Amino acid sequence: MGLSLGKLLVLAAIVFVVWYGFKYRGRVEAVRRAFERERAARRERPVAPTITAEDLVKCDCCGSYVAAHATSTCGRPDCPWGR
């Protein structure tokens, strides 16, 4: 049961594979934890309120569009919304 060069090389290769296997496993776990943290943070973020569409109406005198529920005068004397 002597130690030959071949046996030492095989032993070194086994130690090398085990060592880097543990390092690889640690990296995979770190990435998984970071992914889980990001997923949890996305769940905790407030959802942006949805913006509803508004109907627009065209001013006959100046041609600009304004919201139908908040019409205001464009400043011209013949503006239909200034009445």
Provide the whole-model pTM: 0.44
Give me the chain's average pLDDT, please.
Answer: 84
Domain boundaries defined on the chain: 5-76
Question: Which has the closest alpha carbon to 60: 27, 82, 44?
Answer: 82
Residue 3, pLDDT score: 82
20-29 LR contacts (CB < 8 Å, sep 24+): none
Nearest to 69 by CA among 52, 46, 45: 52
Q: How confident is the model at residue 83 (pLDDT cuts 50, 70, 90)?
A: low
